[in-house]
A = this chain, B = another copy of it.
């Protein structure tokens, strides 16, 4: 028998296995499940009357509810929570699926910066829900490389490469016409000045520079822009949340009416909350599950999130995960999210190695 932690206020084994059965059944059918169908489909070794008593007890404990008196039971958020606690650390992804996912990741080794997108896509297809991913973001941005490219006489494109591969492109309008040659010279100076530095360090370095001559002025001017961009990069808590497979969520029967769906989509655009959530996850080391109304904003009460951080703690972290209806296949979701996050760990380590 596998060791199994039972959450606080834990139930006896039989109650727990019935809770499991209810959840399993409800997750796959989306129909409230009654005592009769339960004994029919699961070999529980007791009669429906007994099951009814237990269901009543589970309801008393707040783990199940009734949509109405003469209907079957459905899990409450607390019910899902209990269930998740009881399985989360045992849920390993089957070898076959691990291989399939690994294979997908192998395909696109070279299309850099796109890993996190692939993670979202993979999670979406593997779970038939929406997959989410953010790019790994460093605690303090380190500039790796600067470049200035002339676009027209008085317009140049400033390109900033950060250590973990993120790019920023900023247009710089110039006070007077500047040749590409001079731009290059300025870029080399700035590059030497700022490469490997964080915003704070770079500012000091820039302050010390000699602002004389046309090149000096240029360096100063562009330097300011670089600093602004780096600070901006630092400031944005979580970059951009890439999502894929939202269509899967639309297929769930609980979202047949599009107003509920709209709420979910609105929630996804609520960067404030999502950002906070991701920051919180990024701070911890493990898969985390947020179920229905546990999510602060009202519009998230119909969905659950399974999220995990990846990257190098203290250097650069991102988040991958899955969004689906609360009626979600949690074991599967937790398994894939955990696996994908370890894959992403490998990739990030590969870069920092």
Give me the 8 closest cross-chain CB pairs, A-B, nearest first.
A112-B171, A258-B258, A250-B262, A145-B149, A110-B171, A258-B261, A152-B353, A112-B169
- Interface-located stretch among A1-9, A49-57, A157-165, A309-317: A157-165
A201: min CB distance to chain B, Å: 19
Smallest beta-carbon distance A17→chain B, Å: 35
Whether the pair A161, B157 counts as a contact (CB closer than 8 A) is yes
Cross-chain contact B165 with A167 (CB below 8 angstroms):
no
The residue from B145, B152, B250 contacting A350, defined by CB atoms under 8 A apart: B152
Interface of A is mostly: mixed
How many residues on A have C-beta within 8 angstroms of the other chain's C-beta atoms?
42
Q: Which of A316-353 contact B (CB under 8 A)?
A: 350-353
In the complex, A246 has a CB within 8 A of chain B: yes
Q: Please, what's the 1-or-0 string for A244-288, where 1 marks a CB less than 8 Å from any CB in chain B?
A: 001100110001111101100110010000000000000000000
Identify which of B110, B145, B152, B259 contacts A173 (C-beta below 8 A).
B110
**From residue A241, how far is it (CB to closest CB) to chain B in Å?**
15
Contacts of A225 in B (CB 8 A): 110
A145 partner, pick from B147, B161, B261, B266, beta carbons under 8 A: B147
How many Å lie between the Cα of A53 and that of B66 in the bound state?
A: 56
Instruction: Report the bound CA distance from A112 to B168 in whole Å.
Output: 9
Question: Which of B167, B246, B261, B350 sits near A169, CB closer than 8 Å?
Answer: B167
What 1/0 mask marks residues of chain A from 84 to 128 whose CB sits below 8 Å from any chain B CB?
000000000000000000000000011111000000000000000
A168 to chain B, nearest CB (A): 10
A247 to B352, CA, bound (A): 40
Among B165, B247, B351, the residue within 8 A (CB) of A262 is B247
Cβ–Cβ < 8 Å partners of A73 in chain B: none
Q: Is A170 in the interface zone, CB < 8 Å from B?
A: yes
Q: Is the CB of A152 within 8 A of B352?
A: yes
Q: Which residues of B contact A153 (CB under 8 A)?
A: 353
Contact B149 A144 (CB under 8 A): yes
Bound together, the chains give a CA A266 to CA B155 distance in angstroms of 40
- In the complex, what residue of chain B is closest to A255 when comparing beta carbons? B258
Minimal beta-carbon separation of A74 from chain B (angstroms): 21
Q: Which residues does chain B contribute within 8 Å of A262, judged by CB atoms?
A: 247, 250-251
